[in-house]
Structure 1
Amino acid sequence: MSVRILFLGPLRDLAGQDDMLVEGTLDWDRLLQTVSPQVAAQLREERVNIACEGRVLADKTALMAEDGDEVALLPPVSGG
């Protein structure tokens, strides 16, 4: 089993892929080490959110994804 990371919007462009699989559990520090430095820099921004299993995390640094979970990296939403 593994954790699936989904890159959405501009984060997909930075990552150069739609998603990636990582083995085992995934916490905040491991997420930052796993993605590219450009994506990690964006994740550190307050405007970028993370959802785990469909729930947006109030504190993204508390991420703890288990085998089989899906983690979505959510870029800022623009509106007009």
Structure 2
Amino acid sequence: MPRLVFLGKLEDIAGTAELTVAPGPVEQILATLDRALAIELLGEKVRMALNGSLITDMGGVTLREGDELAFLPPVSGG
């Protein structure tokens, strides 16, 4: 099964570090999530990595068995 991985504050919002989902188009998978979480994941500054490689657009991305889609929130520091 594909996994969604939530890092930083996104883990707090999701209430878990990762979530196993059914294979399919990312847009359809996000539509099944809690609305508040989906809105955060689609935020302008959230980056995504599919199987360790950054992607700039999830349009047309379909998760398959064993895939990992990580959501990376903006990082702040000094």
What is the TM-score when the length of structure 1 is the normalising length?
0.83
What amino acid sits opposite 1:14 in the alignment? I
Among 47, 52, 55, which residue is 1:49 paired with?
47
Q: 1: CA distance between counterparts of 2:4 and 2:54?
A: 14
Q: 2: CA distance between counterparts of 1:31 and 1:40?
A: 10
Q: 1: CA distance between counterparts of 2:56 and 2:23?
A: 23
Q: Pairwise CA RMSD of aligned residues?
A: 1.5
Moved over 3 A (4+): none
SS at match of 1:60: coil
Give unpaired runs (5+ residues) of structure 2.
none
Give unpaired runs (5+ residues) of structure 1.
none
Q: 2: CA distance between counterparts of 1:64 and 1:79?
A: 33
What amino acid sits opposite 2:11 in the alignment? R
What amino acid sits opposite 2:14 in the alignment? A
Q: Deviations over 1:16-66 (max 9, x none)?
A: 1111111223x2312322322111111221101111100110213343221
| More helix per residue | 1
Q: Once the two structures are aligned, what percentage of the paired residues are identical?
A: 37
Residue 32 of structure 1 is matched in structure 2 by 30
The total of aligned residue pairs comes to 78
